[in-house]
Amino acid sequence: MKTVSLTIDGKEIKAPVGEKVLWAALDNDIYIPHLCARHDNSAPDASCRLCWVEIEGKSRPVTACTETVEAGMVVNTKGQAALRLARTAIELLLASNEVDCASCAKSGACELQKIAAHLKVKLKTRRFKKILRHLPVDSSSPLFTYDPNKCVLCGQCIQVCRQRLGIGALGFAHRGFNRRMTTFGDQPIGQSECQNCGDCVAACPTGALCFK
Amino acid sequence: MTNTKEKTKITEQTRRLLNRFSRKRGNLIPTLQKVQEELGYLPREAMLEVARFLDIPEIDVYGVVTFYNQFRLNPPGKHSIRVCLGTACHMKGGYITLDAWKRRLSIDRGQTTADREFDLDTVACVGCCVMAPVTVVDDKPAGQVEPTKVDGILLSFEREREKRGKEKR
Ligand code: FES
Ligand code: FES
């Protein structure tokens, strides 16, 4: 496999040609917050807006999940401008999230907790007004529960459902604040085409999808 | 609301319309527009047909239909009620007017009454802000529509219906 050399946070690393900066960093134990990217997806959604990095020669921060590595590239994951964008993104997500870690099954393994800690943002941040969605929890599946109020719309579950399994039971619907991961006609998941493989639950970075 | 006979009819109608389109995903929106033009709305069966035709997940059709304001999931009523929530109307209590309509018709925005007399939705500024709060009733903007006026408008529709009923007899 052909590789290129680049520098991330002063560390000299090698990455396969065509690799995205995000995966190059993660493979070398350099953490960059991320929610929506999947390594097997060659056309990233880049929708979570968390993976900001600064690259020498570029005037503005870029999303690491869409930026392809180049020989001699100098990446900084700790730049103030990049961190500021990432912090705003996580604070906006937290502003419409219940954040009831105390009674959440995912607590401890939740990406939101990890990202907030990494960015030094309090989970109970008050920067933005809290507006909750108050959507009903769906426990129709025999295998798992879906709490849309804890969903960050990263699309991981949707991606595995179709790329890996070719089912496509899940998707996004509605617009703006009402946007949510759902099924055709907003049916309960248990009555949809879902075949209970559980891969979506494994892919969920938050407590939105949890095994029963 | 839709019975089996109506459902089969919808499926057949949709199939006929789809014949004119090629099976390209890029055709999703024009296809939906055509179907809505014919049927007046996008019933469940029609969306399922479109998904099958384009060979895409059903939820993707539903996602597009619920994203764009131009698509409706419910049949149009005989009368259309559009409550303006543009900036001026919002400031003048458009939301209160909307609530009044919702309560009186017992439906939410985007829905149609069970008797298919009224459908309710919102619009964003119809260009006559001086009359705020505006409700567009059957394409005609009505001004200063506060909750009492909502009752008035409904009453006049009722009168009309009574009159029509009498004339028929
Ligand atoms: S991981 Fe890059 S935008 Fe979500
Ligand atoms: S805001 Fe309602 S007409 Fe302009």
Looking at the predicted structure, is the pLDDT value of residue B1 above 70?
no
CATH architecture of the domain with residue range B4-67: Orthogonal Bundle (1.10)
The CATH number assigned to the domain with range B79-168 reads: 3.40.30.10
Query: 3-class DSSP state for residue A209?
Result: strand
What average pLDDT score do residues A91-109 get? Answer: 93
Looking at the predicted structure, is the pLDDT value of residue A210 above 80?
yes
Looking at the predicted structure, is the pLDDT value of residue B146 above 60?
yes
pLDDT computed for residue B169 by the predictor: 63
DSSP state of A60: S
What average pLDDT score do residues B60-69 get? Answer: 95
* C-beta separation of A118 from A31 below 8 A: yes
- Topology, domain A1-132: Ubiquitin-like (UB roll) (3.10.20)
Q: How confident is the model at residue A176 (pLDDT cuts 50, 70, 90)?
A: very high
User: Domain locations in chain B?
Assistant: 4-67, 79-168
Nearest one of A148, A145, A106 to A123, comparing CA atoms: A106
Global pTM value: 0.85
What average pLDDT score do residues B35-41 get? Answer: 93
Q: Predicted ipTM?
A: 0.88
What average pLDDT score do residues A29-35 get? Answer: 97
What average pLDDT score do residues A5-24 get? Answer: 96
Q: How confident is the model at residue B6 (pLDDT cuts 50, 70, 90)?
A: confident
What average pLDDT score do residues B11-20 get? Answer: 91
Q: Which amino acid is at B104?
A: R
User: Domain locations in chain A?
Assistant: 1-132, 136-212
**Alpha carbon of B30: minimum distance to chain A alpha carbons (Å):** 19
Centre of ligand 1 to C-alpha A66, Å, is 8
pLDDT computed for residue B4 by the predictor: 87
∠B2-B8-B14 over CA atoms, to 5°?
100
How far apart (Å, rounded) are the C-alpha atoms in residues B83 and B45? Answer: 29
Domain at A136-212, CATH class: alpha beta
Sign of CA dihedral A184, A185, A186, A189: negative
* C-beta separation of B76 from B41 below 8 A: yes
Q: Do A184 and B61 touch (CB under 8 A)?
A: yes
Q: Do B44 and A185 touch (CB under 8 A)?
A: yes
Averaged pLDDT score across all residues of chain B: 92
Selected residue of B59, B66, B70, B71 to mutate for chain A interface (largest A Cβ count, 10 A): B59
Looking at the predicted structure, is the pLDDT value of residue A42 above 90?
no
pLDDT computed for residue B77 by the predictor: 93
B62 touching A (Cβ < 8 Å): yes
Looking at the predicted structure, is the pLDDT value of residue B2 above 70?
no
Sign of CA dihedral B38, B137, A185, A48: positive
